[in-house]
Structure 1
């Protein structure tokens, strides 16, 4: 059995920008102008809500959990609990703490009291100037972290982390695989969305090549374009909430997460935009990890997949289509931290992990 490392839990640095607000703020303000043109009252309410969000008191996040393995700047954080380890793989985009968002709204801390031993991959800040692509993160970060545990694990991947977990499942000793809102058939994003993402990448590519990184702001701008009206309107609604209320604090915690995040390496950005979204190499069976093509049909372990029919970030049509799939009516983030997440995702996931480790 593994023990926590003695190193401080500060190996993965914080990502937060100095500002409390949408990143990049100037482009967000342009979006506000576009969405509220001709409606001065609505514009004023959105800007008032934005200011209230920026100036609101923050509830401290839960403390980081102990580190039990590391590979480069990536570390594995132990949330306690019992049973075989369940390794949770978050996306490379946005910080991993969406799975541990706040006291009383943490999937991982809840699972640790349900007969599950969750461990969270924290990718840290890119240290190699852009050399590792997505497959490289699987081969040189995720797989070594899993190997250090010395026993088969449950593997659970969220968003792009699910794509990566599928790649790791071809090589790691695992007891089960669960995917949550994981894109695989990128052609399922649709021609229009893929075209808009391609244009965004073309504009950002020269800078990314120069600095070896894809700033989080580039990715955030792409997310905003998926639903610009909602992106703006939610700040107007926030301005109507009672300061310090539970609903206001929940909004702040989620938006601080959404406006946070380390950059992608240039290689990971190139693979994501050119090969995954542009070329659908995963859905076409051409994505290779460790020199081997990743084929979901070769999985020989219990699987579970959560697919949202209301997901604006990862459409249901892009899912890997594993045999054991559950469809939800929650959004991409709501399925993890929303008011109905415990019933629709947390509890079925805990049941799956408990059953798989007894088999």
Structure 2
């Protein structure tokens, strides 16, 4: 049989290539993004219920004595900090000689519906911090909180300031006045949202509900722009690894324990009690003026989840003499994984810590 050559053969080959690209795109849409994430070598050094404390590359030589304990939010998964090789904040910090730990809250089940901030801040964080210091054989540590994990870290630092060497808060909402919340002010208004009813109905709020609420803040970008970008990358033969990893992460939200969800919406968004000094955890008042260690708070100009004023509020509440507020021209997640992260956030955090870590 004669080979299919010439213009006809080229056209057939081009059609097959085009069809293959359509198959790739539709496979992602239907089956979800598939890629390995969180690949920086690590070991589990402590567990409690669903939570795990990871230490990264424990046998690698550490240039800086003070360990870093990273605390992520209860929403989404923490591997966004260790996305893929070459685009991993944790990989970068380890490469800079830091002793890095991360607390992964895990995936709560129905039996965890009554988990609240009292449990996370008073039970989990103190034990994790002690384990970090014992493992690294140090007397102090750096606490690094991202998003809601930053809010929890600030509360913890106010209640347990004694052995904390540094505090870094990344896009961490501290103040919740309605004029700074954007569409969240509408979504969380008590006239439209009763978190108690949701907690009673679901126990743990499904991740899909939380994700839908966040996406609706920018529906065109999140529902249309994401896949326009995907098709452009496929048809222009651009690298897909970061897009796949981010798409996987965005669609991988864990359930939110109902008790903590009720507190988060009621006491923070609806009542703005943290900056007023009215948050109490098992009777202990959270007074942010108790924070005296060096503080770095980072915000993104394009962040619609934690606006700049929400993050900046911490600066007038702490007693730290060494404190800095740093703003990047990026969004809530883009400042961590976007194209500018390697030149913006990562070296800023590394340089700031290097001057303040033994």
Residues 145-156 of structure 1 aligned to structure 2 (within 5 Å): 145-149=128-132, 150=134, 151-156=139-144
Q: 1:357 to 1:260 in 2, by over 3 A?
A: same
Query: Aligned to 1:59, which of 29, 35, 50?
Result: 35
Equivalent residue, structure 2, for 1:176: 166
Between the aligned partners of 1:262 and 1:71, the Cα distance in structure 2 is 17
Question: Within 5 A, what are the aligned runs for 1:1-359?
Answer: 51=26, 53-54=28-29, 58-61=34-37, 62=39, 65-80=42-57, 82=62, 83-127=65-109, 128-149=111-132, 150=134, 151-170=139-158, 171=160, 173-187=163-177, 189-190=180-181, 192-198=183-189, 202=193, 206-231=197-222, 232-242=224-234, 247-289=239-281, 291-319=283-311, 320-322=313-315, 323-358=323-358
Does the CA contact (< 8 Å) of 1:166 and 1:294 recur in 2? no
By how many angstroms is 1:349 displaced? 0.6
Say if 1:200 and 1:222, in contact at 8 Å, map to a contact too. no
Q: Which runs of 4 or more aligned residues in structure 1 lie more than 6 Å from their structure 2 counterparts after TM superposition?
A: 47-50
Residue equivalent to 1:31: none
Unaligned runs of 5+ in 1: 1-46
Q: Closer, same or farther in 2 for the Cα pair 1:191/1:327, shift >3 Å?
A: closer
- The CA deviation string for residues 302-342 of structure 1, in whole angstroms up to 9 with x for no partner, is 11111111101111121133241111101100111111112
Residue 157 of structure 1: how far off its partner (Å): 0.4
- Which residue does the alignment assign to 2:18? none
**Contact 1:49/1:240, CA 8 A, preserved across alignment:** no
> 1:223, 1:315 → 2: CA distance?
14
Give the count of matched residue pairs.
312
The 1:289/1:116 distance shift into structure 2, 3 A limit, reads: farther
Relative to structure 1, the CA distance from residue 182 to residue 141 in structure 2 (aligned partners, 3 Å threshold; closer, same or farther) is same
RMSD of the alignment, in Å?
2.5
Unaligned runs of 5+ in 2: 1-21, 316-322
- Deviation of 1:63 after TM superposition, in Å, equals 6.3
Partner of 1:178, secondary structure, is strand
TM-score (norm 2): 0.80
Label 1:242 to 1:296 Cα distance change in 2 as closer, same or farther (>3 A): same
Q: Please tell me whether Structure 1 or Structure 2 has the larger radius of gyration of its CA atoms.
A: 2
Q: 1:136, 1:357 → 2: CA distance?
A: 29
The SS at the match of 2:53 is strand
Partner secondary structure for residue 155 of structure 1: strand
Query: C-alpha offsets along residues 121-163 of structure 1, whole Å, 9 cap, x if unaligned?
Result: 1001225431121242111112211122333110000000000
